[in-house]
Chains A and B, each alone.
Chain A
Amino acid sequence: MISVHDISIQFGEERVFEHLSCEVKRGDFACITGVSGCGKSSLLKALIGLVPIGGGDIRICGHDMNEKTCNIVRRAVMYLPQELSFPSETINEFVAHIQKVGRVKDVHKSIKQLYKNLSLLGLEKEILDKRMSEISGGQRQRLMLATLALLDRELWLLDEPTAALDEASRDLVINFLRTKQQDGKTIVAVSHDVCFASHCSTLIQLG
């Protein structure tokens, strides 16, 4: 599913990492770990061409990542960043925006799936009527995961999906991801959480 060969990432004079090679197979649940600042999030972004690489190559979802294929790859991928300030005032607006981005045709079916995802992640469906500013960081993280899951992409790239969560919520997220893995999704998550990493089938250690 992902094959990274001899890539380096550098921001100006600052070298983040170099000569990295790794592989993630279809159906894997992989975790990218390492100390802060070692380039975990940058690697995740580089996989979908959001961060430039210096040398080497990336093959992802059956395509060599380049200017021509990046849009095709991004439509096969779900990307959950660690932090996001979404401009929508209400959560319903956020959901509608994601459905639009994902070109969701059957909105009714999509909303039913969203209710199911929210329930699996320990959230009430009434949360959809709230404003973004009214929910906590942990709720926001789970809400985004539940909503982005509607995109139904084959590869999930998640940046610290359990960072703002307590133990109980973290377990819900892990179970949710494992269920999706069993449904055939490939999951690659950045995490410095040892417990989270222990549930993953592949570890990619940076730094």
Chain B
Amino acid sequence: MGTIDISYLSLCVGLLLLLIPIYYIWRYETKLLKAICVGTVRMVVQMLFIGVYLRYLFEWNNPIINLLWVFVMVYIASETALIRTRVCRSILMMPLVVGFVVASVLVGLYFLGIVLGLNNVFSAQYFIPIMGILLGNMLTVNVIAVGTFYSTLHREQNLYYFLLGNGASRSEALQPFVKQAIVKSFSPTIANMAVMGLVSLPGTMIGQILGGSTPNVAIKYQIMIVVITMSASMLSLMIAIKLSSKRAFDGYGRMRQVFKKGN
């Protein structure tokens, strides 16, 4: 069972479907018109580049190059999270990098080495896509959760100081804010898990079936992808919050300037 290729002309024809959302975005003056156009162009260009460099990564299949590539992805993910959360670089950058690296290496290698039982866990065919999907999910979760954590903390400082002033440790006083961050970032994923296979057929599974795998293999991969993305996202989030909160407060537990000035 082979996969039918999509010619570049057919791809352009397919892209015409985007005219539907673009029309309504324009019609209702949502101010998202520029964002969707720029987003579409960026997506196409970036994906074309990915096609090129993945071809080389697969050809070379060199563990060091693959690892280096993952570090590049970690750096880009951290920069993106930093921009979107608007938290100061001095507070969040290092915790994000550490969180992404530790979570992706631990969870990724557990899956590749122990669950899949690969002899070469750095094999480009598995290592690069798995790290990619882990980092993509960790980025989404960290942007929502870290943003929620610091913005709620900033808005409801009186609650934090109330708990701290009554003898709670810093981590105890931060607990309500961590809870909110987890609820907000994980609720959609948990809701999706509950209806997976009934309402939605997820991307990994569809990709594998289109690529020629049997549904039996595809569902097992899909289950594991959900498991590893959730685990890595939670692990990276906890590391990012723990490490960044050491920098976000002074010796008395008072909040420093967390958000970039001008926000």
Contacts and interface: CB of A to CB of B under 8 A. Distances in A.
A71 B251 CA distance: 10
A27 interface: no
A62 to B, nearest CB: 16
Q: Interface majority SS on A: helix, strand, loop or mixed? A: loop
Contacts, number: 66
A74 B158 contact: no
A74 B167 contact: yes
B180 interface: yes
B158 A48 contact: no
B166 interface: yes
A5 B12 CA distance: 75
Given A52-B254, A67-B252, A87 B165 contact: no
Contact of A84 (B159, B167, B252): B159
A118 B26 CA distance: 59
A84 B176 CA distance: 14
A174 B252 CA distance: 32
Interface string A73-97: 0111111010111110000000000
A70 interface: yes
Contacts of A77: 165-167
Contact of A85 (B156, B164, B169, B252): B156
B167 A102 contact: yes
Contacts of A102: 166-167
A101 B168 contact: yes
Contacts of A45: 161, 165
Contacts of A87: 156, 159, 176, 179-180
Interface string B160-185: 01111111110010001001100000
Interface in A147-200: 148, 151, 153, 157
A65 to B, nearest CB: 9
Nearest to A86: B159
Nearest to B167: A75
B167 A151 contact: yes
B166 A151 contact: yes
Contacts of B253: 49, 70
B161 A50 contact: yes
A101 B161 CA distance: 13
Contacts of B163: 101
Nearest to B170: A71
Among A51, A77, A78, A87: residue with most chain B CB under 10 A: A87
A20 B253 CA distance: 24
A127 B169 CA distance: 29
B42 to A, nearest CB: 38
Contacts of B169: 71
Nearest to B180: A87
Given A81-B158, A85-B158, A74 B254 contact: no
Interface string B139-170: 00000000000000000101101111111110
B158 A83 contact: yes
A74 B164 contact: yes
A86 to B, nearest CB: 7
Nearest to B252: A49
Given A67-B252, A70-B252, A84 B162 contact: yes
A49 B254 CA distance: 8
21 contacts: A50-B161, A50-B164, A50-B254, A52-B254, A70-B251, A71-B167, A74-B164, A74-B165, A74-B167, A76-B167, A77-B165, A77-B166, A79-B162, A79-B166, A84-B159, A85-B158, A98-B166, A101-B166, A151-B166, A153-B167, A157-B165
Interface of B: 156, 158-159, 161-169, 172, 176, 179-180, 250-254
